[in-house]
Amino acid sequence: MGKIIETGDRIILHTAMSDREFAKANMMQHMKAEGFIAKEAEGGSFEFSAWFFEDTAANEDGEFELLGEGLEGVTAYQILKEVEEACKDTEICTKPNQTQLDAWSKIFRIIKAMREAEKQKLTLPNCGAVGIIYADDGRILFLPELLVTRSIAMRSQSEAAEYTECWRQSILPIEQMPSFSAAAMIYTIITGHRPYNSDSPEQLADDFLDSYFVPAEYLCPLSKDNAEILDTALKGKIKFRPTLKRLLGIFGEDISGVYQAESKTAQKEIKDKAYSKISKRIGRSRFFRKHFAQIAAIFIAVILVTAGILSIVNTEMSRPTTKGQTAFQVVESFYSSLNHLETVRLEECISKAAGKEIKGIVTNLYVTSKMQSAYNSGQGIMTPAQWIIKANPERTSVYGITRLKINGIESNTSADWFQNVQALPLNIENGTNEHFDAEYYLVYTDNPETITIVAYKDSLELTFIKDRWLITKFERNETPSECDKAQFFKDLSENKTGSYAWFPTEKELEAGKAELAPQPVLF
């Protein structure tokens, strides 16, 4: 721990300041800040007496020291750090080791003293685990808060986080601080790991507000109710935090009694999945929080531009239409539009009732693509073929279709029948129906590490309405799977793609390459 607090004949606080820095920080005016000594009385209650730093001195290095009445003992930080060291190779704590049991006998009495002060309406200093000394004779010293926290803050942000801010949350209302500090110590004792462990007070505050810790039920076999109460005491942004009385009622003098024989959640695989889910949720939340203003501006701009484009397109005579296309061409146009996120063309292929869900998905992806394009130097969402040709997994996302077959015939996912509409309308009776079966892979990325592949088998019914074919019934059966993105691009670089059933055909890759080629400028 280094020299921060020394116990013995005198309690010594190493301020990490020279006498000049001490004076400049106006620390002298806080020399009479109160600490408290708690002494257990008969019946288990505690009596409190004031304690102060009494003298100052400079050591051989010129560092200013504060000195007060002595106690032989250890800080709560040292007690908890010993637990962490004893459990550093224990990922899931199924039962407490001797270090945990010995530590709890002291931490339990510290929390008991905190509860007694609460009952006596006495506000104890809260300067984290390093500011609480458990004496060999059973007395407990709570050191003056401002003097301790300011001395540690003078050292470094990481030391402030390690010794004080991991164990308290100064952004809480004063009446909730003891509950959080007690819960942090309890969590550390029973799991062997502290709940929050970042390198700066600012990051710890962010983690607290996001409740970014592994729930206790995944690290030790607690009952669901007990784990939930402990976790609630540690969470940020809650109105009601469990009291010290409630925590002591659950985590009593015999800490081994809270461990169950079996647990459905305290298992490595389940814990890893839960932590991954928590990390992704918080990562998304922080990204949008950090970039909210930019995203909002881009989103509004895209909506306005899209609305303007749709308004113009709706009034133009050249609006895409399936008029003149055969039923097969309409189906191919539908999947080509889905592959390229062409919302206007997609709407022309399918009836309103049949395509409500798909059109909603494509519209949302279209907006996302435009937002990504604005952030990534014009690169938004690519088709699988384009993505593979580009071979740039970090800068782009993928969404699109590969290996399309319609009625068992290999088909084109980049068909452009809208540009080749027959001049004459089709001579087909109104209400005529045709049926098609389609199978293909839908490939997309929604997290940084994996590629999601869904094998679809669709059933489509087309009806000739007035002067054109429309998809009027649409049913899907899906089989999802995933593959590791890094491994795929490694295999791609080594030309080992034979095991990827969804890998685009040669025709699809050629089409993707042509679509990425610079387009001629027309004057």
pLDDT of residue 164: 94
What per-residue confidence (pLDDT) applies to 423?
Answer: 52
**Res 519 pLDDT > 70:** no
Q: Mean per-residue pLDDT for 32-48? A: 92
Q: Does residue 295 have a pLDDT over 80?
A: no
- Give the C-alpha separation, 273 to 268, whole Å: 9
pLDDT value at position 249? Answer: 94
Please give the domain boundaries of the chain with CATH numbers for all domains. 5-289 (1.10.510.10), 313-515 (3.10.450)
Q: How many CB atoms lie within 10 A of CB 345?
A: 21
- Indicate if the pLDDT at residue 317 is higher than 60: no
Tell me the average pLDDT of the chain. Answer: 86
Beta strand 53-58 with 46-51 is unpaired
Amino acid at 423: A
pTM (2 d.p.): 0.58
Beta bridge partners of residue 462, listed in sequence order: 434, 471
Alpha-carbon distance values, 330 to 60, 345, 436 (Å): 88, 10, 11
Q: Cβ contacts of residue 91 below 8 Å, gap of 6+?
A: 219, 268, 271
Q: In the chain, pLDDT over 70 holds for what percent of residues?
A: 86
CB 260 within 8 A of CB 336: no
Instruction: Output the pLDDT for position 360.
Output: 61
Per-residue confidence band for 309, with pLDDT thresholds at 50, 70 and 90: low
d(CA 128, CA 168): 5
pLDDT of res. 68: 94
Q: What would the mean pLDDT of 381-405 be, rounded to a whole number?
A: 83
pLDDT digits (tens, 9 = 90+) for 265-293: 999 999 999 889 988 888 877 776 666 56
CA distance 109 to 19: 37
DSSP per position, 198-238: -SSHHHHHHHHHTT-S--GGGTS---HHHHHHHHHHH-SS-
Residue 13's nearest CA partner among 61, 48, 63, 60 is 63
User: What's the confidence (pLDDT) of residue 259?
Assistant: 95
Res. 522: pLDDT tops 50: no
Which residues fall within 8 angstroms of residue 428, CB to CB, at 6 or more apart? 464
